[in-house]
Amino acid sequence: MQVTETLSDGLKRGFTVTVPAQEIESKRSARLKEVGQSMKLPGFRPGKVPLSIVKQRFGTEVQGEILEQVVGDATRKLLDERGLRPAMQPKVDIVSGGEPDSKSDLEFKVEFEVLPEIPVPDLSSLSLTRLKSAVNAETVDKALKEIAGRQREFETITEDRPAAKGDVLTVDFVGKIDGVAFDGGSADDVNVEIGGAGFIPGFAEQLEGMKAGDEKVITVTFPADYQAENLAGKEATFDIKAKALKRPVEAKIDDELAKKLGFEGLDQVRELITKQVEQEYEQLSRLRLKRDLLDQLAEKTAFEAPPGMVDAEFAQIWNRIEEDRKAGRLDDEDKDKDEETLRADYRKIAERRVKLGLLLAEIGRVNNITVTQDEMLQAIRAEAMRYPGQEQAVFEFFGKNPQAADSLRGPIFENKVIDYIVELAKVEDKEVTPEELAEMPEATV
């Protein structure tokens, strides 16, 4: 194998690689013989099919297979011998010698960006603040009240009067766009709280004043960010038929409510709520700590980010921005920016993400932090649990798709590296209110 360097500019590298034709032919002949051994053809004994026929049937396929193998092996050898670490998959172009039965040496060009030198900062010099918040009785009481609200029952109002705020009207409705009923827009015996939430804005409000037996057509506009894209931002009419007027009867917060929920008593419900809220607070605390940590590390990423990696990261971010813009979901601070400013802002975010990702990867590499098979199995099992009845299909999917498995491995690896850094850093605990804990700074990564 002969290698000639053709490009060395910053992080960019380029080489021309030549592999002797004899090596290609040797590998191709060996592979064709291997194929011939398992080939079955009428008139020939197994393994006795002439090489010319095997070549005629499988020559092109084998040539492609051998080229892929030779190019891959040669590229890996090049990287190993020169101690180069590519930032992304190298780009390969065949120059000559790739045709079947070619007598010429194989020549191909390979170009890529190398990873920069990534100095790992003194992690023990980091000073972090871990926010903590205790679960108070008021929070538990609020959660209990919400639970009781979901368990409330309704009693019919016999008085002949129109529906007022706080009442519940039982209705049938048919939703239409341009006079045509749309899928999912019709239902019977639906309880609608007048002035309550849970419906399209303007829906429940327009039912105020209706009596049982009344019929009415109302007009509403679906929000621009409505989950069903075919309805988002569209005006619709609903044919309403009121059937009964009811009032909600709040469930009492006592042991009977607890038993209705499957618990022995109210204390058990309070204990469960407390544990759940504690877990939520711990997750928020970790998010705030991680944000603080990444902000400090970002200031220490004094190395060049590979442009190709930044381009790829920016493309993903910009696709999401374009989708949000079309759906009217852009953040308020971005709505009035021109495209040039938006692109510049989000390219900075892309560069920050790439640099932080490389730094975390380097910290993990030099400290032998890896994701174990057990950890991957647990992650896949957790993912499979999201699809009841399809668990086996999920396991098979991840087994056949390494890239999909990497999407689970990445977050596990990052969390392990973050935990490692936190162990080395100076961490001060600070008690704050739940409201202060929830005040998450603007996300940049």
Same domain, 82 and 44: yes
Give domain status of residue 417, yes or no: yes
Q: How far, in whole angstroms, is CA 300 from its chain's centroid?
A: 27
User: Is the domain of 369 the same as that of 276?
Assistant: yes
- For the chain (length 445 residues), average pLDDT per consecutive 10? 93 95 87 77 70 75 88 94 94 86 87 95 95 93 90 87 92 94 93 86 92 94 85 93 91 91 93 96 95 94 93 94 83 86 94 96 96 94 90 89 88 96 96 88 53
Say yes or no: 305 and 372 in one domain: yes
Residues 95 and 51 in one domain: yes
Q: 145 in a domain, yes or no?
A: no
Q: Going by C-beta distance under 8 Å and a sequence separation of 6 or more, which residues neighbour residue 194?
A: 163, 164, 165, 166, 167, 168, 169, 204, 205, 207, 208
What pLDDT, on a 0 to 100 scale, did the predictor assign at position 103?
Answer: 81
Q: What is the pLDDT of residue 442?
A: 58
Residue 128 lies in a domain: no
Same-domain status, 80 and 172:
no
134 in a domain, yes or no? no
Q: Are residues 241 and 264 in the same domain?
A: no
Say if CB 412 and CB 376 are below 8 A apart. Answer: yes
Please tell me whether residues 158 and 230 are part of one structural domain. yes
Is residue 39 exposed (0-12), middle (13-18) or buried (19+ Cβ within 10 Å)? middle
Do residues 185 and 263 both lie within one domain? no
Does residue 45 sit within a domain? Answer: yes
Question: Is residue 135 included in any domain, yes or no?
Answer: no
Name the phi and psi angles at 18, rounded to 5: -120, 130
Residue 133 lies in a domain: no
298 and 433 fall within a common domain: yes
**Together in a domain, 338 and 389:** yes
Q: Are residue 48 and residue 171 in the same domain, yes or no?
A: no
Q: What is the pLDDT of residue 441?
A: 62
Domain range for residue 190? Answer: 154-248
Q: Which of 80, 113, 146 finishes a domain?
A: 113
Instruction: Quote the tokens at residue 311.
Output: 């381009």
This prediction's pTM: 0.74
Our count of domains for the chain comes to 3
254 within some domain: no
For residue 22, the domain's CATH number is: 3.30.70.1050
Residues 290 and 433 in one domain: yes
